[in-house]
Amino acid sequence: MKLVKLSVKRFQCIEAAELEFGPGLNVLYGPNDLGKSSLAWAIRAVLLLQHGSSEHAKFVSWYGGGEPRVELTLTDDEGRYWRVSKTFGAGTAGRSSLETSKDGRTFNADVSGRQVDEKLRKMLGWGLAGLGGQGAAKGLPDSFLAQVLLAEQDNVRTVLFDTSLTDDPDESGRLRLTQALGALAQDPLFKDVLDDAQGFVDRAFTPTGRKKRSAGSPFVELGDQIKELRHERAELEAKLRETGVAEDRIRELIERRDAMGRELDRGRIDLTDARHRLEVSRQHAALRAQLETHLATLRSVTALEVRIVDAGRERDELGTEVEAGGEIVRDAAAALQQCEQQRDTTAAQLDALVHADVVGEQE
Please give the Cα distance from 38 to 34 (Å, whole number): 9
- Averaged pLDDT, 74-95: 92
Q: What is the pLDDT of residues 332-347, one digit of tens each?
A: 888 888 888 888 888 8
Is there a contact between 2 and 26 (Cβ–Cβ < 8 Å)? no
- Cα separation, 150 vs 224, in Å, equals 47
The answer to whether 140 and 48 are in contact (CB under 8 A) is yes
pLDDT for 162 beyond 80: no
- Is-contact 46 86, C-beta < 8 A? yes
> What single letter denotes the amino acid at residue 86?
K
- Sheet hosting strand 108-112, strand order edge to edge: 14-20, 2-11, 69-75, 81-87, 95-101, 108-112
Answer for the pair 136, 117: CB distance below 8 angstroms, yes or no. Answer: no
CB burial class (10 A; 0-12, 13-18, 19+) of residue 255? Answer: exposed
DSSP notation for 219-243: HHHHHHHHHHHHHHHHHHHHHHHHH
C-alpha–C-alpha distance, residues 9 and 108, integer Å:
22
Q: How large is the average pLDDT for residues 129-155? A: 69
Q: What is the pLDDT of residues 183-239, one digit of tens each?
A: 777 788 888 887 888 888 888 888 887 888 888 888 888 888 999 999 999 999 888
18 bridge partner residues = 7
Q: Which domains does the chain have, with CATH numbers?
A: 2-124 (3.40.50.300)
